[in-house]
Amino acid sequence: MTDSGLASLPASDRPDTAARLREALLAASFTADGLLDLLGAPAYAALARSETVPALRATRGDTPLETLVRLFLLQQPVPYARVAHVLPVEDALESGWLTRVGGDEVAATVDVRPYGGPDGEDWFIVSDLGCAVGGAGGVGQHDEGVVLGVGGASTTLAGITVRTPVAAALDLGTGSGIQALHAAQHATRVTATDLNPRALHITALTLALSGAPAADLREGSLFEPVRDDETFDLIVSNPPFVISPGARLTYRDGGMGGDDLCRSLVQQAGERLNEGGFAQFLANWQHVAGEDWQDRLRSWVPRGCDAWIVQREVQDVTQYAELWLRDAGDHRGDPADYQARYDAWLDEFEARKVKAVGFGWITLRRTGTAESVVTVEEWPHPVEQPLGDAIRAHFERLDYLREHDDAALLEGHFKLTAEVVQEQVGLPGAEDPEHVVLRQHRGMRRATKVDTVGAGFAGVCDGTLSAGRILDAIAQLMGESPTLLRDRTPAQIRLLVEQGFLEPVG
**3 state SS for 303-336:** CCEEEEEEEEEEEEHHHHHHHHHHHCCHHHCCHH
Separation between Cα atoms, residue 317 and residue 325, nearest integer Å = 12
The helix (run of H) or strand (run of E) holding residue 12 is none
pTM of the model: 0.94
> Would you state the pLDDT for residue 139?
45
* DSSP annotation string for 450-488: E-HHHHHHHHH-EEEEEHHHHHHHHHHHHT--HHHHHHH
Separation between Cα atoms, residue 191 and residue 183, nearest integer Å = 10
Separation between Cα atoms, residue 453 and residue 25, nearest integer Å = 59
Contacts of 134 by beta carbon, 8 Å cutoff, 6+ apart: 47, 48, 49, 50
Ranges of residues in the chain with a pLDDT under 50 are 1-4, 134-140
Cβ 205 vs Cβ 268: under 8 Å: no
Strand order in the sheet with 435-440: 420-425, 435-440, 447-450
Q: For residue 364, what are the CA distances in angstroms to 235, 276, 305, 358, 392?
A: 9, 10, 6, 18, 11
User: What value, to the nearest 5°, has the Cα angle with vertex 392 and ends 386 and 395?
Assistant: 140
* DSSP annotation string for 235-283: EEE----B--SS---TTTB--SSTTHHHHHHHHHHGGGEEEEEEEEEEE
Cβ 219 vs Cβ 197: under 8 Å: yes
Cis amide linkage into residue 197, ω under 30° from 0: no
Contacts by 250-259 with C-beta closer than 8 Å and gap 24+?
250/1, 250/144, 250/145, 250/146, 250/195, 250/196, 251/141, 251/146, 251/147, 251/148, 251/175, 251/196, 251/199, 252/324, 252/327, 257/352, 258/286, 258/352, 258/354, 259/283, 259/284, 259/285, 259/286
Cβ 366 vs Cβ 302: under 8 Å: no
CB hemisphere CA count around 78 (13 angstroms): 31
Cβ 388 vs Cβ 156: under 8 Å: no
For residues 441, 445, 447, 453, the Cα torsion angle rounded to the nearest 10 degrees is -60
Give the number of other Cβ atoms within 10 Å of residue 115's Cβ.
23
pLDDT, tens digit (0-9, with 9 covering 90-100), for 351-393: 999 999 999 999 999 997 878 999 999 999 999 999 999 999 9
Beta strands in 369-419 (DSSP E): 374-378, 413-416
Least Cα distance to 242 among 359, 337, 107, 402 occurs for: 359
Contacts of 340 by beta carbon, 8 Å cutoff, 6+ apart: none
Separation between Cα atoms, residue 321 and residue 356, nearest integer Å = 10
pLDDT, tens digit (0-9, with 9 covering 90-100), for 296-330: 999 999 999 999 999 999 999 999 999 999 888 88
Separation between Cα atoms, residue 134 and residue 51, nearest integer Å = 7
Strand partners, 42: none
Q: For residue 454, what are the CA distances in angstroms to 125, 274, 437, 471?
A: 48, 38, 10, 10
The helix (run of H) or strand (run of E) holding residue 41 is helix 32-48
CB hemisphere CA count around 227 (13 angstroms): 4
Strand partners, 189: 168
Strand partners, 101: 105
Contacts of 267 by beta carbon, 8 Å cutoff, 6+ apart: 300, 302
Residue 21, helix vs strand vs coil: helix
Separation between Cα atoms, residue 398 and residue 372, nearest integer Å = 10
